[in-house]
Amino acid sequence: ACIELLDEENITIPSWICFSSIDGEHAASGESFKDCLDILNKSEKVNAVGINCTPPHLIENLILMFRK
């Protein structure tokens, strides 16, 4: 929904999306990170992705997943 809004409103300022996770596979809202990343990679509006409020032991694997 956020990415659709960026496209619809033709936002031209730098933007980023942040996620939280409790299991390293899914966003806190339940969506799989693979699905989220598929959408993010199609967007020209998102300049960065962040990870917040996530157990430290999950961070490295999430960063590696996001880099792919």
Give me the chain's average pLDDT, please. Answer: 89
Q: Give the predicted TM-score (pTM) of the model.
A: 0.72
Query: Residues 27, 3, 65, 28: what is their CA dihedral angle, to the nearest 10 degrees?
Result: -10
Range of the domain at 15: 2-67
| Overall domain count for the chain | 1
Tell me what pLDDT residue 66 has: 86
pLDDT band of residue 59 (cuts 50, 70, 90) is very high
Contacts of 32 (CB under 8 A, 6+ apart): 25, 26
| Mean per-residue pLDDT, 11-32 | 92
